[in-house]
Amino acid sequence: MMSDFRERDGKYKLILPLRLIPNFVFVTKPTGSKEYEVKRELPIYFEKGLSGQIKMPEGCVYLCSKDGIEVAYDDKGMAVHFDCSDELKELLDEIQEREEMEEEDK
């Protein structure tokens, strides 16, 4: 697992490949401040409500910002920011559980 951990002013930043970051988590580029939300599928809405989902092919994710949507490969490193160490520990626990489940499926 590629990662880079930094603490500054009581806040935490962990740089991880997108494949390890769960859906709906907000990230920034490692040296940036613009926020993106990680999504692996996008809902499609028509006049009468939800019509379907657009799913990303294996190895890609959507990065959604207020300015639009980008597509990124899931090995791209992005920064996840935390206000406290408990939030950081929760994400690391979730990543570990997911990796263990993927290993069991192999």
Whole-model pTM: value is 0.78
* DSSP 8-state class, residue 84: S
- How far apart are the C-alpha atoms of 69 and 56, rounded to whole Å? 12
Residue listed under structure tokens 């999504």? 39
pLDDT digits (tens, 9 = 90+) for 77-88: 999 988 888 888
The residue type of 27 is V
Tokens of 22: 């769960």
Tokens of 60: 């890609």
pLDDT at residue 1 above 70? no
Q: What pLDDT score does 51 carry?
A: 77
pLDDT digits (tens, 9 = 90+) for 18-73: 999 999 999 999 989 999 999 998 888 877 766 788 888 888 999 999 999 999 99
The C-alpha angle with vertex 96 and arms to 15 and 2, in degrees rounded to 5, equals 30
Residue listed under structure tokens 């791209």? 76
